[in-house]
Structure 1
Amino acid sequence: MARPRTDSAPDLTRPVDLTAGAITRLACPPDKDQAFLRDAKAPGLRVRVTAAGAKSFVFEAKLDRKTIRRTIGDVRAWSIDDARVEANRLRVTLDGGIDPRELEREQAAAKARREVERAAKALIVAEVWPLYLAEGKPKRRDAWKPGYLADLQLMASEGGKPKKRGEGFTRQGPLYPLLALPLGQVNEDVLKAWFDREAKAGRHQAARALMMFRGFLRWCSTRPEYRALADRDAGRASAILESLPTNTHRTDALEAAQVPGWWVGVEQLGNRTSSAYLRALLLTGARREELAALTWANVDFKWRKLTLADKIDATRTIPLTPYLSQMLAALPRTNSFVFASSSKSGRIADTRASHAKALKSAAISGLTIHGLRRSFSLLGERAGAPAGAIAQVMGHKPSATAEGYRPRTIDDLRPFLEQIEAYVLEQAGVKFDSAAPRKLRAVA
């Protein structure tokens, strides 16, 4: 039998001892899309050639009576010896009852998981924080309260920007150092070290920042993509809680004898909007943000009602009493807010400076803005209003009271709120005729 010519194409019908020359001469028959040249030394090793002339090493074998085929690599990248070693490895895997293709898929999936895990571990707080501000609204709320959202942004601010008021630059927010940390590395030890550093500048500010960050960690723990990274209880470690300042419950409120001096001091403020706002807080018992966000659209002068944003429910509606109605009607309508200002938000933001002036003129110390809310409750009791009616006007969470809590209609609430207003005006020395609302004056 004559030996094949060295320049002829190899015989595809029988295994051959693969050589570089044989692979070079290999060609795809004209009537086929691809063809295979079998290796005589490594069972299962083939060289595939396509109609376009591309050549690669492949492994081919039978599994459960079905042909399986796996590409090893391009003949230009793989040597014949390396291809035989890989084919033998795949044969051993197959003899063990494992499909090499399935094994490869599992290895690829495992690699993808490791990549995801590495990426997740590298995820820093700064990448998640903006999403928290955008989507981390409180329960039963459509959005953050503007004031609290502004505080969150300020707490995490970079600082170093020119102050809007006065000279100098803004300070870095206490949460800013945490933004650079990988989320998965924020544990109780990290938070303890951070809190101790921030507490040197101000313990109460650091404690408030910690409470905010704990809210962020709780939110992360509810998100499937961050749950495995966020340590929900990191901010509640005993070592941190022991370092927190004592949470003293404020009890400041106006005494009846202090009402006249306070009222006169507030009335004499140069800022009429602040003056009206502070008096409205005392006459309604509303929270400062609830009243600051009041818009003209939610003041019903015809049916004498006010609709306020509420901490418990979305909104609550209370009666609009005679004196308060006249005071609000006298305010200028410069935008949609009742207590408007030239600030970026368009509404009154911080009246502590104005309130401090009024307190100084009245020789009253220690009364906070929230103390006016407590003052409404105490003065309401002295006026003889039922506890349930006072609680409903103030927007307290419904609970059992001595009288048995039951929501009242606006008309049922109106006499009690007018009774409270009349009592406060009487203590303040204000002569007010509800039948002639334009005539009112404070008497010494």
Structure 2
Amino acid sequence: MSKDTSRVRLTAGRVDAFACPVGKSQAFLWDTEAPSLMLRATPTGRKTYAFEARLNGATIRVGIGTSADWSLDAARKRAAELKQLVDSGQDPREIERQKQADREAKKAAQAAKVEADRLAGVTLGEVWSVYLEDRRPFWGERHYADHLKMSKAGGEVARRGVKLAADGTKPMTVPGPVFELLALPLRELTPAKVETWAAKHAQTRPTYARLCWRCLKVFLNWCAEHPTYAALLATANPAKTKRTREVLGKPNAKDDALQREQLSAWFAAVRQIQNPVIAACLQVSLLTGARPGEVLTLRWEDVNTQWKGLTIRDKVEGERVIPLTPYVAHLLAGLPRRNEWVFPSFRALSSDPATIKRREAKHARKGQTAPAGDVVQASASGHLADPSAAHRCACAAAGLDGLTLHGLRRSFASLTEWLEVPAGVVAQIQGHKPSATAEKHYKRRPLDLLRLHHERIEAWVLEQAGVRFESQSADAGKLRAVNANYVNS
């Protein structure tokens, strides 16, 4: 018990009148009717009821509440309840702690149930957005754009590569294959539903469906490792089933490539393309063996005419420098410098007065100013987006149907076999990862050594194509191409 023991029969008046004496930090007033009940007062004027008793040889004190919140009768009743617990050998503090723990556990269980109910309705689309933002720092722009494309809703006016409808309007874009899964709750994505989805898209675009399926598998692997979404998966990875793989089929190895005897026809057709930017782009693609996207996104700052090098934005290594061979340098020297891109995307504007007047009126109705000059930027990026259409037309004229832009890269690698160029040299020029220990850890070829082989490759290709080309070393920077069908000087 407290040493300051002042006992009286507590009444409402005595409780109100009780105060802490000046100079003391606290004062106690014990009730004679309920001996374990005391009233504690502090210098601030706060008065609280408390219960104090002895349990197992030790003094325990349990707070009851303030005199403002508890009436005297209620405080006496609570003190009597606590006294019964102590008399039975129970510690009121432990009981209160257990009750508090039970309340917190119940509260946590309720919160978990609310979260579980919320997660039960989380759609694949919501998680897909989180996934893209989480992985974007580790992806290239092209890979990120591919994920956006396969999950697009469609319904936009098609911009290129389409035929007009009978009424003269352009068709609408179709949704990406992954889009139809986005509204599905993640926990409802079962192997059976993925198999049905795969079977549907395998009938129309099997190659693209396989790409989307591979990306979907990686996404679900990410979900399986995520602390929040792992519990929502029906299986470890609903997209990873034998049936889905069988439905989509195995990809056929691409074999489109130019043969030595086809080079003459290909060069003749490509150099007849009216757009000099596209014609140069296609020839550079073949003679460098670079990926189509690497060629299309070449900037003028990447062209080093002093040291004869081309800096390629490599999707694997970040960037690589390859030789700027004489004929490629000649092609680039003849291109217009309209913006930062080596292969800009511009279209010519009509100089007909009537056409110009109609164009100005059309822009005026939209509150815009008609473009001035003889050309206007044709793509949002400013560089060529996809020269495939022009390439297909040229190949059709040359009788080489089926040759793709990536087939030009494949052609470069295949044609070097005729010259027995070391495989490591070709891989370094094309940006392939080394395939042997010696290549990976020991061989470091400088640009001049690559140039020795690369210029030999270019000269041989031009020779087989019937393109006579001579670089005037005495007159640096001025190159001359001689051909029966095409002459530049």
Note if contact 1:290-1:308 (Cα within 8 Å) is conserved in structure 2. yes
Note if contact 1:319-1:414 (Cα within 8 Å) is conserved in structure 2. yes
The partner residue of 2:408 within 360, 372, 375 is 372
Aligned to 1:429: 466
Note if contact 1:388-1:401 (Cα within 8 Å) is conserved in structure 2. no
| Structure 1 residue 266, shift from structure 2 partner | 0.9
1:266 maps to 2:270 = yes
Alignment of 1:322-337 (within 5 A): 322-337=326-341
Aligned to 2:484: 443
The partner residue of 1:214 within 193, 214, 217 is 217
Question: Could you list the per-position Cα deviations for residues 235-286 of structure 1 after superposition, in whole angstroms to 9, with x for gaps in the alignment?
Answer: 2112211211221111121111111111111111122222111111110111
> What is the one-letter code of the residue matched to 2:317?
D
> For 2:379, what is the secondary structure of its paired residue?
coil
| Structure 1 residue 382, shift from structure 2 partner | 0.9
Change in 2 beyond 3 A, CA 1:47/1:107? farther
Change in 2 beyond 3 A, CA 1:106/1:427? same
1:111 maps to 2:152 = no
Note if contact 1:26-1:49 (Cα within 8 Å) is conserved in structure 2. no
> What is the one-letter code of the residue matched to 1:275?
A
TM-score (norm. length: structure 1): 0.77
Q: Tell which deviates more after alignment, 376-385 or 144-153.
A: 144-153
Aligned to 1:241: 245
Question: Could you list the per-position Cα deviations for residues 210-256 of structure 1 after superposition, in whole angstroms to 9, with x for gaps in the alignment?
Answer: 22222322344454444444566222112211211221111121111
Distance 2:51 2:183 in 1: 49
Unaligned runs of 5+ in 1: 1-11, 17-21
Distance 2:115 2:284 in 1: 55
Q: Tell which deviates more after alignment, 173-182 or 102-111.
A: 102-111
| Structure 1 residue 48, shift from structure 2 partner | 12
Alignment of 1:51-62 (within 5 A): none
Distance 1:45 1:207 in 2: 78
Aligned to 1:7: none
| Structure 1 residue 197, shift from structure 2 partner | 3.9
Distance 1:304 1:443 in 2: 28
Percent of counterpart pairs with the same letter?
A: 35
Aligned to 2:425: 389
> For 1:242, what is the secondary structure of its paired residue?
helix
Q: Tell which deviates more after alignment, 401-410 or 100-109.
A: 401-410
Note if contact 1:45-1:57 (Cα within 8 Å) is conserved in structure 2. yes
Change in 2 beyond 3 A, CA 1:278/1:442? same
Aligned to 1:282: 286
| Structure 1 residue 402, shift from structure 2 partner | 10
> For 2:400, what is the secondary structure of its paired residue?
coil
Note if contact 1:34-1:50 (Cα within 8 Å) is conserved in structure 2. yes
Distance 1:354 1:33 in 2: 95
| Structure 1 residue 160, shift from structure 2 partner | 2.1
Note if contact 2:199-2:248 (Cα within 8 Å) is conserved in structure 1. no
TM-score (norm. length: structure 2): 0.71
Note if contact 2:62-2:92 (Cα within 8 Å) is conserved in structure 1. no
Distance 1:408 1:366 in 2: 35
Alignment of 1:157-306 (within 5 A): 157-165=152-160, 167-229=170-232, 233-306=237-310
Change in 2 beyond 3 A, CA 1:96/1:373? same
Note if contact 2:154-2:173 (Cα within 8 Å) is conserved in structure 1. yes
> For 2:434, what is the secondary structure of its paired residue?
coil
Question: Could you list the per-position Cα deviations for residues 133-153 of structure 1 after superposition, in whole angstroms to 9, with x for gaps in the alignment?
Answer: 33414xxxx664444333322
RMSD (Å) for aligned C-alpha atoms? 4.5
| Structure 1 residue 113, shift from structure 2 partner | 3.6
Note if contact 1:28-1:50 (Cα within 8 Å) is conserved in structure 2. no
Alignment of 1:58-77 (within 5 A): 66-68=60-62
Distance 1:193 1:134 in 2: 28
Distance 1:124 1:75 in 2: 51
The partner residue of 2:148 within 142, 148, 153 is 153
Q: How many residues were matched structurally?
A: 419
